[in-house]
Structure 1
Amino acid sequence: MIVGGDGITVDGAGNPANPLVITAKPAPLVVADGDCITLSGNGTAGAPLSAAPRLDPNPANLLACGPDGLVVTGGTGGTVATACGLTGDGSTGAPLAAAVAQWTAACDLDTEGGQVYCDSAGQLRADPPPKFAFYTDNASQTFPATEVPAGSDVPIIRPTLTILNPDGCREAHVLVNVDLDMDFNLPANSGAGCGIGPDDMQYVVNRGSTAGTSVHNQVSKTWHRVIPAGGTLVEPMQITGLRGSGGATYTRIQWGINAFVWVV
């Protein structure tokens, strides 16, 4: 007795009138789909094996199956549509690129050009813009006739100005300008002076025989300061008296502090 195994069939009785016929029978083809490919058919003439891409139905998906194969849709002829900030369509002749302006400055772009950054929300950001601020304070103070100190750079009053750096990223450069005007009463053969910090700013004398009242002149001084990012500076203006003689007195001090702040 003859029995066929897997994939083999046996027919007939094994005699001349009914010989044995052994036939190979193909086993059925087992197919399995993948994440991106769908398979069908069993490999026979009536059901040939075929594969088709599986496309995500998400409306934002730009991938499609065209007559010539997979394409990226969204533009003319299967190319990519662009909006503000991009040029090109993704083709070989017009690759995607950033839409940029022409560099027109006389300096070198490679060494002087700013930077572009990507923030946590995926938006493009440039270098922080320049910033400017201005702070000022001034006053006119009167005094009972007070003798001008005979020494040098003797402190009288010390006003201050609070200056803020408006930028939390970069240090600020500050030009501090101060003005001082002090009124002196000068008896005959007397003298008096005033200063800002360690600097003697003016000195006046009366060599005549009569007294001079409210003798004054405005003086100015400028200096530079640097404030760290996000920092605060309390800038003093030390006003001094000096070289008083012959009973000279002061009766009024007018002062002003101005701060010009740049962040670039």
Structure 2
Amino acid sequence: MIVGGDGVTVEGSGSPASPLVISAKPSPVTVADSDCITLSGDGTGGAPLRATPRLDPDPANLLACGPNGLTVTGGTGGTVATACGLTGDGSTGAPITAAVAAWTAACDLDTEAGHVYCDSTGQLRTDPPPRFAFYRDSGNQVYPATPVPTGSDVPITTPTLRITNPDTCREAHVLVNVDLDMDLTLPATSGGGYGIGTDDMAFIANRGSSTATAVHTQVTKTWHRVIPPGGAVDEPLEITGLRGSGGATYNRIQWGINAFVWVV
């Protein structure tokens, strides 16, 4: 007797009329899909094994299965379409590149050009733009007749101007310009002056024989300040009196503080 083992079948009795026929049994095949491949069939002649790629149905998905294999769709002929800021279609002859203008400055591009950055949302950003700000304050104070101080650079009043750096990234350069005018009453043979801080800006003497009233001249001074990123300063204008003699008095002080702020 002949008995078939696992995977083998035996048919017939071995006689001329019923010869032995030995054949293999089809073995069942277990298949399992993956995230990207779907498997079908059991390996038999009527149901051969077949692997089919699983494509995401999202409309933004550019991957497709063509007659020659997987391809990237979009654009022309399976290449990539581009929009503002990009050129090319992703092919060998036209790779995707940034659409840029020609460098026209006389200086060197590699050392003098700015930069481009990618922010947390994927947007392209450039260096912070230049900023400018202007601040001003002024006053016109009338006083009762007040003796001009006899000393040198004696403080009378100190108005201030708040100056803020409008940029939180870079330091600001500030051009501060101040102007000052003081009305003096000068009896005969008297004199008096005024200044800004320790600078004596004006001195006027009356060498005549009668009183001179509303004697004045406007003076100005300019200096530079640096303010750190996002910072602010209270810029003072210290107004002083000086060298008063012979009963000289003042009765009006006019002043102005101007701040020109640049961030580049």
With structure 2 as the length reference, what TM-score do the two structures score?
0.93
In the alignment, what sits opposite 1:122?
122
User: Matches of 2:76 and 2:21 in 1, distance apart?
Assistant: 63
Instruction: Tell me how far 1:45 sits from its aligned partner.
Output: 4.0
Secondary structure at the aligned position of 1:78 is classed as: coil
In the alignment, what sits opposite 1:140?
140
Please list the CA deviations of residues 132-162 of structure 1 after superposition, one character each: whole Å capped at 9, or x if unmatched.
Answer: 1111111111111111111100001111111
The answer as to whether partners of 2:153 and 2:194 remain within 8 angstroms in 1 is: yes
Secondary structure at the aligned position of 1:111 is classed as: helix
In the alignment, what sits opposite 1:9?
9
User: Matches of 2:18 and 2:144 in 1, distance apart?
Assistant: 147
Q: 1:74 to 1:18 in 2, by over 3 A?
A: closer
2:67 is aligned with what amino acid? P
Instruction: Single out whichever of 204-213 and 245-254 deviates more from structure 2.
Output: 204-213
In the alignment, what sits opposite 1:33?
33
Instruction: Tell me how far 1:218 sits from its aligned partner.
Output: 0.5
In the alignment, what sits opposite 2:180?
180
Secondary structure at the aligned position of 1:76 is classed as: coil
In the alignment, what sits opposite 1:64?
64
1:11 is aligned with what amino acid? E
Instruction: Tell me how far 1:210 sits from its aligned partner.
Output: 2.2
User: Matches of 2:43 and 2:24 in 1, distance apart?
Assistant: 16
Please list the CA deviations of residues 207-227 of structure 1 after superposition, one character each: whole Å capped at 9, or x if unmatched.
Answer: 222222111111000111111
In the alignment, what sits opposite 2:203?
203
Alignment of 1:51-200 (within 5 A): 51-200=51-200
1:221 is aligned with what amino acid? K
User: Matches of 1:45 and 1:202 in 2, distance apart?
Assistant: 113
2:133 is aligned with what amino acid? A
Instruction: Tell me how far 1:44 sits from its aligned partner.
Output: 4.1
Instruction: Tell me how far 1:16 sits from its aligned partner.
Output: 6.0
Secondary structure at the aligned position of 2:170 is classed as: coil
The answer as to whether partners of 2:185 and 2:211 remain within 8 angstroms in 1 is: yes
The answer as to whether partners of 2:26 and 2:44 remain within 8 angstroms in 1 is: no
User: Matches of 2:16 and 2:102 in 1, distance apart?
Assistant: 96
Instruction: Single out whichever of 192-201 and 45-54 deviates more from structure 2.
Output: 45-54
What are the ranges of 5 or more consecutive residues in structure 2 without an aligned counterpart? none
User: Matches of 1:189 and 1:133 in 2, distance apart?
Assistant: 47
- Across the two proteins, how many residue pairs are aligned to each other? 264
User: Matches of 1:19 and 1:46 in 2, distance apart?
Assistant: 28
In the alignment, what sits opposite 2:232?
232
Secondary structure at the aligned position of 1:110 is classed as: helix
User: Matches of 2:79 and 2:17 in 1, distance apart?
Assistant: 71
Please list the CA deviations of residues 207-258 of structure 1 after superposition, one character each: whole Å capped at 9, or x if unmatched.
Answer: 2222221111110001111112222211110000001111111111111111
* RMSD over aligned Cα atoms: 1.7
Secondary structure at the aligned position of 2:77 is classed as: helix
Instruction: Tell me how far 1:34 sits from its aligned partner.
Output: 2.4
Instruction: Tell me how far 1:22 sits from its aligned partner.
Output: 2.9
Instruction: Single out whichever of 37-46 and 241-250 deviates more from structure 2.
Output: 37-46
Identity of aligned residues (%): 77
Secondary structure at the aligned position of 1:152 is classed as: coil
Please list the CA deviations of residues 71-117 of structure 1 after superposition, one character each: whole Å capped at 9, or x if unmatched.
Answer: 11111111111111111101011111111111111122222211212
Secondary structure at the aligned position of 1:179 is classed as: strand
User: Matches of 1:129 and 1:145 in 2, distance apart?
Assistant: 52
Instruction: Single out whichever of 65-74 and 43-52 deviates more from structure 2.
Output: 43-52
User: Matches of 2:2 and 2:175 in 1, distance apart?
Assistant: 111
